[in-house]
Amino acid sequence: ETGVTQTPRHLVMGMTNKKSLKCEQHLGHNAMYWYKQSAKKPLELMFVYNFKEQTENNSVPSRFSPECPNSSHLFLHLHTLQPEDSALYLCASSQDHFGGGNTIYFGEGSWLTVV
């Protein structure tokens, strides 16, 4: 299944590094999401983009910077992260915003370790 693909699958970065996570969806959807999954909060919404416009920022620290150049691509730029940011980052998409009763399709996730 290649509906939503994420790269890299695994990333180890130092606290002073700058890296990016990439997500691409091949489903023709208009909404894309970033979720953080950790033991503390299993599915925590970070950002929502609907028709390339950011519609939700769930009080995410500025060291996480999303970018949505078009409806098919979503990036999460990472800068000066903390060890507690280590988690699985899931990208997802839906036809349009989830509140409209649309199924969310998740990617496989990117495992991030901050050292």
Partner 1 sequence: GENVEQHPSTLSVQEGDSAVIKCTYSDSASNYFPWYKQELGKRPQLIIDIRSNVGEKKDQRIAVTLNKTAKHFSLHITETQPEDSAVYFCAAPRANAGKSTFGDGTTLTVKP
Q: 91: how many CB neighbours lie within 10 A of its CB?
A: 27
97 in contact with partner 1 (CB under 8 A): yes
CB of 33 to partner 1, least distance (A): 8
In the complex with partner 1, the residue whose CB is nearer, 18 or 41, is: 41
Binding mask 25-44 for partner 1 (x = CB under 8 A): ------x-x-------xxx-
Residue 86 CB contacts under 8 Å (≥ 6 apart), including other chains: 38, 112, 113, 114
- Among 25, 50, 93, 110, indicate the residue that binds partner 1 (CB under 8 A): 50
15 in contact with partner 1 (CB under 8 A): no
CB of 37 to partner 1, least distance (A): 9
Residues of this chain that interact with partner 1 (CB under 8 A) are: 31, 33, 41-43, 45, 48, 50, 55-56, 58, 90, 97-101, 103-104, 106-109
